[in-house]
A = this chain, B = another copy of it.
Protein backbone atom coordinates (compact mmCIF):
# COMPACT_ATOMS: atom_id res chain seq x y z
CA UNK A 1 0.00 0.00 0.00
CA UNK A 2 1.40 3.43 -0.89
CA UNK A 3 2.22 5.80 1.98
CA UNK A 4 -0.31 8.34 3.20
CA UNK A 5 0.73 11.93 2.45
CA UNK A 6 -0.50 15.48 2.96
CA UNK A 7 -1.44 17.54 -0.12
CA UNK A 8 -1.54 21.35 -0.05
CA UNK A 9 -2.51 23.57 -3.01
CA UNK A 10 -1.86 27.29 -2.50
CA UNK A 11 -4.17 29.24 -4.81
CA UNK A 12 -4.76 32.93 -5.40
CA UNK A 13 -7.79 32.99 -3.09
CA UNK A 14 -7.73 29.76 -1.05
CA UNK A 15 -5.27 27.20 0.28
CA UNK A 16 -6.82 23.76 -0.20
CA UNK A 17 -5.53 20.76 1.66
CA UNK A 18 -6.24 17.13 2.24
CA UNK A 19 -4.84 13.61 2.48
CA UNK A 20 -3.84 11.43 -0.46
CA UNK A 21 -4.46 7.85 0.56
CA UNK A 22 -4.52 4.85 -1.81
CA UNK A 23 -4.68 7.05 -4.87
CA UNK A 24 -7.66 9.04 -3.62
CA UNK A 25 -7.62 12.62 -2.40
CA UNK A 26 -9.63 13.17 0.76
CA UNK A 27 -10.12 16.97 0.83
CA UNK A 28 -10.08 18.33 4.36
CA UNK A 29 -10.56 22.12 4.24
CA UNK A 30 -9.83 25.42 2.57
CA UNK A 31 -8.26 28.44 4.26
CA UNK A 32 -8.30 31.93 2.74
CA UNK A 33 -4.92 32.76 1.19
CA UNK A 34 -3.18 35.56 3.14
CA UNK A 35 -3.60 38.90 1.39
CA UNK A 36 -0.75 40.01 -0.80
CA UNK A 37 1.76 41.97 1.23
CA UNK A 38 5.43 42.10 2.15
CA UNK A 39 5.09 39.00 4.36
CA UNK A 40 2.80 36.85 2.22
CA UNK A 41 5.36 34.08 1.81
CA UNK A 42 5.91 33.82 5.60
CA UNK A 43 2.17 33.87 6.26
CA UNK A 44 1.59 31.16 3.67
CA UNK A 45 4.21 29.01 5.41
CA UNK A 46 2.27 29.52 8.68
CA UNK A 47 -1.01 28.44 7.10
CA UNK A 48 0.59 25.41 5.43
CA UNK A 49 2.19 24.35 8.73
CA UNK A 50 -1.21 24.66 10.45
CA UNK A 51 -2.88 22.67 7.70
CA UNK A 52 -0.31 19.87 8.03
CA UNK A 53 -0.75 19.86 11.83
CA UNK A 54 -4.51 19.59 11.32
CA UNK A 55 -4.06 16.61 8.98
CA UNK A 56 -1.62 14.88 11.36
CA UNK A 57 -4.26 14.94 14.11
CA UNK A 58 -6.30 12.64 11.81
CA UNK A 59 -3.70 10.49 10.07
CA UNK A 60 -0.10 9.35 10.09
CA UNK A 61 1.60 11.28 7.30
CA UNK A 62 4.97 10.46 5.82
CA UNK A 63 5.49 13.47 3.56
CA UNK A 64 3.94 16.72 2.39
CA UNK A 65 3.28 17.82 -1.20
CA UNK A 66 3.03 21.59 -1.66
CA UNK A 67 2.15 23.36 -4.91
CA UNK A 68 1.93 27.08 -5.64
CA UNK A 69 1.17 29.31 -8.64
CA UNK A 70 3.52 31.58 -10.58
CA UNK A 71 7.08 30.72 -11.54
CA UNK A 72 8.40 27.75 -9.61
CA UNK A 73 11.82 26.13 -9.46
CA UNK A 74 10.75 22.67 -8.36
CA UNK A 75 14.28 21.30 -8.12
CA UNK A 76 15.53 23.92 -5.67
CA UNK A 77 12.20 24.27 -3.84
CA UNK A 78 11.90 27.98 -4.55
CA UNK A 79 8.77 29.94 -5.47
CA UNK A 80 10.60 32.19 -7.91
CA UNK A 81 7.84 34.68 -8.56
CA UNK A 82 4.12 35.20 -8.20
CA UNK A 83 2.54 38.44 -9.30
CA UNK A 84 -0.76 37.51 -7.63
CA UNK A 85 0.81 36.64 -4.29
CA UNK A 86 3.59 39.17 -4.59
CA UNK A 87 6.53 36.99 -3.65
CA UNK A 88 9.98 36.70 -5.21
CA UNK A 89 12.51 33.89 -4.62
CA UNK A 90 10.70 32.45 -1.59
CA UNK A 91 12.33 29.18 -0.41
CA UNK A 92 8.95 27.72 0.56
CA UNK A 93 9.89 24.05 0.43
CA UNK A 94 12.67 24.26 2.98
CA UNK A 95 10.74 26.67 5.20
CA UNK A 96 7.76 24.33 5.36
CA UNK A 97 10.02 21.30 5.87
CA UNK A 98 11.72 23.02 8.80
CA UNK A 99 8.35 23.79 10.37
CA UNK A 100 6.71 20.40 9.94
CA UNK A 101 9.72 18.09 10.26
CA UNK A 102 8.67 15.96 7.28
CA UNK A 103 10.00 15.60 3.72
CA UNK A 104 8.31 18.21 1.49
CA UNK A 105 7.83 17.86 -2.28
CA UNK A 106 7.37 21.16 -4.06
CA UNK A 107 5.89 22.05 -7.40
CA UNK A 108 3.76 24.20 -9.64
CA UNK A 109 -0.03 24.08 -9.25
CA UNK A 110 -0.88 23.68 -12.92
CA UNK A 111 1.83 21.11 -13.59
CA UNK A 112 0.88 19.14 -10.48
CA UNK A 113 -2.69 19.13 -11.80
CA UNK A 114 -1.36 17.76 -15.09
CA UNK A 115 0.38 14.95 -13.23
CA UNK A 116 -2.84 14.15 -11.38
CA UNK A 117 -4.88 14.02 -14.61
CA UNK A 118 -2.24 11.74 -16.15
CA UNK A 119 -2.04 9.31 -13.24
CA UNK A 120 -5.45 9.38 -11.59
CA UNK A 121 -7.72 11.43 -13.84
CA UNK A 122 -8.66 11.68 -17.50
CA UNK A 123 -5.53 9.96 -18.79
CA UNK A 124 -5.12 7.34 -16.07
CA UNK A 125 -2.94 4.48 -17.23
CA UNK A 126 -1.36 6.43 -20.10
CA UNK A 127 2.35 7.14 -20.20
CA UNK A 128 2.84 10.40 -22.09
CA UNK A 129 0.22 13.09 -21.64
CA UNK A 130 -0.12 16.78 -22.49
CA UNK A 131 -2.50 18.63 -20.14
CA UNK A 132 -3.79 22.09 -21.05
CA UNK A 133 -5.91 23.94 -18.48
CA UNK A 134 -7.86 26.81 -20.05
CA UNK A 135 -9.32 29.19 -17.47
CA UNK A 136 -8.33 32.76 -16.68
CA UNK A 137 -5.06 31.87 -18.38
CA UNK A 138 -3.77 29.03 -20.52
CA UNK A 139 -0.85 26.83 -19.53
CA UNK A 140 0.47 23.37 -20.28
CA UNK A 141 1.89 20.50 -18.29
CA UNK A 142 3.80 17.61 -19.83
CA UNK A 143 3.95 14.12 -18.35
CA UNK A 144 6.48 11.80 -20.00
CA UNK A 145 6.92 8.19 -18.94
CA UNK A 146 4.50 8.92 -16.10
CA UNK A 147 6.72 11.66 -14.65
CA UNK A 148 6.14 15.37 -14.70
CA UNK A 149 8.48 17.42 -16.88
CA UNK A 150 10.12 20.13 -14.78
CA UNK A 151 12.51 22.92 -15.73
CA UNK A 152 14.14 25.55 -13.52
CA UNK A 153 12.96 28.59 -15.51
CA UNK A 154 9.52 29.61 -16.73
CA UNK A 155 8.12 27.14 -19.25
CA UNK A 156 4.84 25.65 -20.43
CA UNK A 157 3.54 29.22 -20.81
CA UNK A 158 1.81 28.60 -24.10
CA UNK A 159 -0.85 31.18 -23.18
CA UNK A 160 1.63 33.92 -24.01
CA UNK A 161 2.50 32.74 -27.50
CA UNK A 162 1.56 35.08 -30.31
CA UNK A 163 -1.73 33.97 -31.87
CA UNK A 164 -1.81 36.53 -34.65
CA UNK A 165 -4.49 38.96 -33.39
CA UNK A 166 -4.39 42.50 -32.02
CA UNK A 167 -5.95 42.28 -28.55
CA UNK A 168 -3.82 43.29 -25.57
CA UNK A 169 -2.90 40.67 -22.99
CA UNK A 170 -2.58 41.11 -19.21
CA UNK A 171 1.14 40.42 -19.66
CA UNK A 172 1.55 43.69 -21.58
CA UNK A 173 2.11 42.09 -24.98
CA UNK A 174 -0.32 42.12 -27.91
CA UNK A 175 -1.82 39.06 -29.55
CA UNK A 176 -1.22 36.38 -26.90
CA UNK A 177 -3.16 33.12 -27.19
CA UNK A 178 -4.83 33.64 -23.83
CA UNK A 179 -6.09 37.08 -24.89
CA UNK A 180 -8.32 35.37 -27.47
CA UNK A 181 -8.85 31.80 -26.26
CA UNK A 182 -8.98 31.78 -22.45
CA UNK A 183 -12.35 31.51 -20.73
CA UNK A 184 -11.85 35.09 -19.53
CA UNK A 185 -11.06 36.36 -23.05
CA UNK A 186 -14.10 34.65 -24.58
CA UNK A 187 -16.36 36.13 -21.92
CA UNK A 188 -14.85 39.60 -22.40
CA UNK A 189 -15.05 39.47 -26.20
CA UNK A 190 -18.72 38.53 -26.05
CA UNK A 191 -19.53 41.34 -23.63
CA UNK A 192 -17.73 43.83 -25.86
CA UNK A 193 -19.32 42.72 -29.11
CA UNK A 194 -22.79 41.95 -27.86
CA UNK A 195 -23.20 44.41 -25.01
CA UNK A 196 -24.37 41.64 -22.63
CA UNK A 197 -22.02 40.05 -20.14
CA UNK A 198 -21.71 36.26 -20.46
CA UNK A 199 -19.43 33.62 -19.01
CA UNK A 200 -17.49 31.42 -21.42
CA UNK A 201 -19.92 28.60 -20.62
CA UNK A 202 -22.82 30.85 -21.60
CA UNK A 203 -21.05 31.84 -24.82
CA UNK A 204 -20.62 28.11 -25.54
CA UNK A 205 -24.33 27.53 -24.95
CA UNK A 206 -25.19 30.38 -27.33
CA UNK A 207 -23.00 28.83 -30.01
CA UNK A 208 -25.28 25.79 -29.75
CA UNK A 209 -28.30 28.10 -30.08
CA UNK A 210 -27.01 29.63 -33.31
CA UNK A 211 -25.86 33.04 -31.96
CA UNK A 212 -23.54 34.31 -34.74
CA UNK A 213 -21.50 36.61 -32.45
CA UNK A 214 -20.87 33.72 -30.07
CA UNK A 215 -20.06 31.40 -32.98
CA UNK A 216 -17.38 33.70 -34.40
CA UNK A 217 -15.73 34.29 -31.01
CA UNK A 218 -15.77 30.58 -30.31
CA UNK A 219 -14.36 29.67 -33.73
CA UNK A 220 -11.51 32.16 -33.37
CA UNK A 221 -10.67 30.77 -29.93
CA UNK A 222 -10.71 27.16 -31.17
CA UNK A 223 -8.58 27.99 -34.23
CA UNK A 224 -5.99 29.84 -32.11
CA UNK A 225 -5.86 26.96 -29.61
CA UNK A 226 -5.44 24.42 -32.40
CA UNK A 227 -2.67 26.43 -34.11
CA UNK A 228 -0.74 26.56 -30.83
CA UNK A 229 -1.36 22.99 -29.73
CA UNK A 230 -0.70 21.34 -33.11
CA UNK A 231 3.11 21.75 -32.99
CA UNK A 232 3.25 20.71 -29.32
CA UNK A 233 1.22 17.59 -30.02
CA UNK A 234 3.19 16.70 -33.15
CA UNK A 235 6.53 17.17 -31.41
CA UNK A 236 5.66 14.86 -28.50
CA UNK A 237 2.87 12.63 -29.90
CA UNK A 238 1.43 12.09 -26.43
CA UNK A 239 -0.96 9.21 -25.73
CA UNK A 240 -3.63 11.79 -24.87
CA UNK A 241 -4.22 15.53 -24.73
CA UNK A 242 -6.32 16.56 -21.73
CA UNK A 243 -8.15 19.89 -21.81
CA UNK A 244 -8.96 21.25 -18.34
CA UNK A 245 -9.90 24.48 -16.63
CA UNK A 246 -13.19 26.33 -16.89
CA UNK A 247 -13.40 26.11 -20.66
CA UNK A 248 -13.37 22.30 -20.58
CA UNK A 249 -16.82 22.60 -18.99
CA UNK A 250 -18.12 23.31 -22.51
CA UNK A 251 -17.49 19.64 -23.24
CA UNK A 252 -18.05 18.57 -26.84
CA UNK A 253 -18.84 22.14 -27.89
CA UNK A 254 -15.12 22.72 -27.36
CA UNK A 255 -13.59 19.30 -27.91
CA UNK A 256 -15.32 18.41 -31.18
CA UNK A 257 -14.20 21.47 -33.21
CA UNK A 258 -10.79 21.48 -31.50
CA UNK A 259 -10.23 17.84 -32.44
CA UNK A 260 -11.31 18.57 -36.02
CA UNK A 261 -8.94 21.53 -36.27
CA UNK A 262 -6.03 19.57 -34.79
CA UNK A 263 -6.59 16.68 -37.18
CA UNK A 264 -6.56 19.13 -40.08
CA UNK A 265 -3.30 20.70 -38.90
CA UNK A 266 -1.26 17.68 -37.77
CA UNK A 267 -0.26 14.37 -39.36
CA UNK A 268 -1.29 12.46 -36.19
CA UNK A 269 -4.43 11.02 -34.71
CA UNK A 270 -5.12 12.73 -31.42
CA UNK A 271 -6.87 11.40 -28.34
CA UNK A 272 -8.39 14.61 -26.95
CA UNK A 273 -10.19 14.32 -23.60
CA UNK A 274 -11.79 16.61 -21.01
CA UNK A 275 -10.10 16.76 -17.60
CA UNK A 276 -11.66 14.61 -14.88
CA UNK A 277 -10.43 15.99 -11.56
CA UNK A 278 -11.81 19.54 -11.75
CA UNK A 279 -10.56 22.00 -9.14
CA UNK A 280 -8.99 19.25 -7.05
CA UNK A 281 -6.40 18.36 -9.71
CA UNK A 282 -3.70 20.62 -8.23
CA UNK A 283 -4.16 19.33 -4.68
CA UNK A 284 -4.19 15.71 -5.90
CA UNK A 285 -1.02 16.38 -7.86
CA UNK A 286 0.64 17.84 -4.75
CA UNK A 287 0.02 14.51 -3.05
CA UNK A 288 1.48 12.62 -6.02
CA UNK A 289 4.64 14.73 -5.88
CA UNK A 290 4.99 13.75 -2.21
CA UNK A 291 4.60 10.06 -3.14
CA UNK A 292 7.24 10.43 -5.87
CA UNK A 293 9.59 12.04 -3.35
CA UNK A 294 9.22 9.09 -0.95
CA UNK A 295 9.57 6.62 -3.85
CA UNK A 296 12.74 8.28 -5.14
CA UNK A 297 14.24 8.35 -1.64
CA UNK A 298 13.57 4.62 -1.31
CA UNK A 299 14.95 3.85 -4.78
CA UNK A 300 18.15 5.48 -3.64
Contact = CB atoms under 8 A, between A and B. Distances in A.
A237 interface: yes
A235 B161 CA distance: 10
B153 A267 contact: no
Interface in A205-258: 227-232, 234-237
Contacts of A236: 142, 149, 151, 155
Interface string A167-200: 0000101000000000000000000000000000
Interface in A245-288: 264-268
Contact of A230 (B151, B156, B161): B161
B173 A267 contact: yes
A231 B144 CA distance: 18
A229 B265 CA distance: 14
Interface in A119-175: 128, 140, 142, 144, 149, 151, 153-158, 160-162, 171, 173
A157 B237 CA distance: 9
A268 B266 CA distance: 24
Contact of A162 (B151, B171, B230, B237): B230
A155 B235 contact: yes
Contacts of A173: 267
A174 to B, nearest CB: 10
Contacts of A128: 151
A162 to B, nearest CB: 4
Interface residues of A, number: 32
Given A231-B229, A232-B231, A267-B171, A237 B158 contact: no
Residue among A151, A234, A265 with most chain B CB within 10 A: A234
Nearest to A236: B155
B266 A162 contact: yes
Nearest to A132: B235
Contact of A142 (B158, B235, B265): B235
Given A173-B267, A227-B227, 8 more contacts: A151-B236, A154-B268, A155-B237, A156-B235, A160-B234, A160-B267, A162-B265, A232-B232
Listed from nearest, the 6 A-B pairs whose CB atoms lie closest are A155-B237, A160-B267, A162-B265, A231-B231, A232-B235, A228-B231
29 contacts: A140-B235, A144-B144, A151-B236, A153-B237, A154-B237, A154-B267, A155-B234, A155-B235, A155-B236, A155-B237, A155-B268, A156-B234, A156-B237, A157-B267, A158-B231, A158-B234, A160-B266, A161-B230, A161-B231, A161-B265, A161-B266, A161-B267, A162-B264, A162-B265, A162-B266, A227-B227, A228-B231, A230-B231, A232-B232
